[in-house]
Chain A
């Protein structure tokens, strides 16, 4: 394994990377999300056309990806709140796995609901 990776290959570090990456991607997505919804204000026709575009399979997959990002950032964030506000206990080390499980479950729920 690449020496740079070897020192970082542990749950806490992966949890951090997922949390930061999902946060950055969500931060980039949000302005677009708000702008599209804002089309409902003045440009109903444009919104309709856009929403028809979102029916395509690739876009549906993208939506699922966004739900996954949100779920990952959310459960990772709950883990951080636990780590920072609860006095340290040994089971805190398992929280990364718990957060991963919860976010996958949420994303699965969304996928199955479709």
Chain B
């Protein structure tokens, strides 16, 4: 039913946003720290490889991103491109899958 689906998407968007607020804070802080310390890529990778705590954190981060980004784009596609309906939602699901796959590869590459 349309009302329930819209409520679910809205709730998922806001919940993932709240989670991302925490994740982005940590991410920005670490990026500023890394830039401030003048760390090279090799040095960063030294610290991240084998670090399961960070792997866990970025996995949660990725999950929130995979929920948040497609739902956000859904409104943009509907309102600015006039694209509504099932085909739009299928494309967004595919985009979510691509994001999840690329993100998982990135996490494995950096943290494992």
Contacts and interface: CB of A to CB of B under 8 A. Distances in A.
Please say whether the chains A and B touch (CB closer than 8 A): yes
Interface of A: 20, 23-24, 26-27, 30-31, 33-42, 47-48, 51, 67, 70-71, 74, 77-78, 80-81, 84-85, 106, 109-110, 113-114
Contacts of B33: 113
Secondary structure type dominating chain A contacts: helix
B94 interface: no
B109 interface: yes
Interface of B: 14, 17-18, 20-21, 24-25, 28, 31-33, 35-36, 40-41, 45, 65, 69, 72-73, 76, 98-99, 102-103, 105-106, 108-110
20 contacts: A27-B72, A30-B69, A31-B99, A34-B102, A35-B105, A36-B106, A37-B105, A37-B106, A38-B105, A51-B40, A51-B41, A67-B28, A67-B31, A70-B24, A74-B20, A74-B24, A78-B21, A113-B33, A113-B35, A113-B36
Secondary structure type dominating chain B contacts: helix
Contacts of A31: 98-99, 102
Contacts of B110: 37, 40
Contacts, number: 82
Nearest to A37: B106
Contact of B99 (A20, A24, A34, A41): A34
